[in-house]
A = this chain, B = another copy of it.
Amino acid sequence: MKTYAVIMAGGAGTRFWPASRADRPKQLLPLGADPVEPLLAATVRRLAPLIAPENVWIATGTRLAAATARALPDVPRAQILAEPVPRNTAPCIGWATSVIAKADPEALVCVLPSDHFMTDEAGFRATLARALDAAKSGHLATIGIVPTRPETGYGYIELGDHLPGADAETYAVARFVEKPDRARAEEYVKGGRHLWNAGMFFFRAGAMRGAIEQHLPELAAGLAKIERGEDLAAVFPTLPSVSIDHGVMEKASGLAVVKGDFGWNDVGSWESAWELGAKDAAGNVLPSDAVAVDAKNNLVRLLGGAGEASSKTVALVGVNDLVVVDTGDALLVIPRERAQDVRAIVDALKARGATRLL
């Protein structure tokens, strides 16, 4: 039984403006600890000891296919799947599974986001191996992250019993839980029976195809048309736009979840980028030649046109807790605690029709 990875790399995202743009989304940006490596490239590299790049498939959009291929020279070009339009994760995973199953009906598939970060990569792989074991024995499996704070921005997975015959970290899924309010999130963290849903899925191709036929027959019918050779660009827009969580996982039975605790970070904003960055003694994340005088806990990121580092000396004097991002054509200055508000900038630029910057 051969193992394949499907990396979902279709995201657009505005939370990293001005670094992120329509044609340079978050997963193509070097936002982790090592600023030279895009998150997507890190995802493939991190996986390589378990799943080699020649068994990795990338699901992205037509607009991003070329840039995605450039970021992943080791992944065969034919394995970069370009969706004609975005239709959420169920069609994405369904189509990728169908393509892989056509060549290898016995395929074991792991589906991963392209834009997360992990500090403990070996720990991640150990968890992933457990999830693949559960999938091998027929489960739709997922990884649940042990929560470190009462986060209200994520969905949670409630643990059931230990999965019989599986290792100590693998449980049945009691249920998927929508984003909770603050009080409930605090209960979840204290209770120890709720994990963050990190959007990672593990299954035998046949098991996922069966689950889609059962729970999303409309999607199954559309995928069958594509398998029969109908035009992708005509069929794909007709697929139901639904997430794999809502469409399949929340309805399916026999789910497994593996506890994961490997320094996971979904890199949700410039604040996360500061958290992940290598800090100087004053808590600043700075380019190596920057000058900081009486400046604490700032994040400075310089990015050239294609996401690479640019050459510029940054000097900070007497400023604290700021995010400063320079992309050559745009410069952002915002307090770290307001990092979510870069959307306001993107909205303002949209309103004035500054598409060059979006």
Contact = CB atoms under 8 A, between A and B. Distances in A.
Interface of A: 17-18, 289, 291, 293, 311-319, 322, 324, 326, 328-335, 338, 341-342, 344-345, 348-349, 354, 357
Contact of A333 (B315, B330, B341): B315
A331 B345 contact: no
A342 B291 CA distance: 11
Nearest to A335: B318
B322 A333 contact: yes
Contacts of A311: 329
A261 B303 CA distance: 48
A341 to B, nearest CB: 5
A147 B322 CA distance: 38
A182 to B, nearest CB: 23
B338 A317 contact: yes
A317 B345 CA distance: 8
A18 B314 CA distance: 10
B335 A319 contact: yes
Given A319-B335, A335-B319, A330 B345 contact: no
Contacts of A17: 315
Given A293-B348, A341-B293, A319 B322 contact: yes
Given A333-B324, A345-B291, A354 B313 contact: yes
Given A293-B348, A348-B293, A318 B341 contact: yes
A312 B328 contact: yes
Contacts of A317: 332-335, 338, 341-342, 344-345
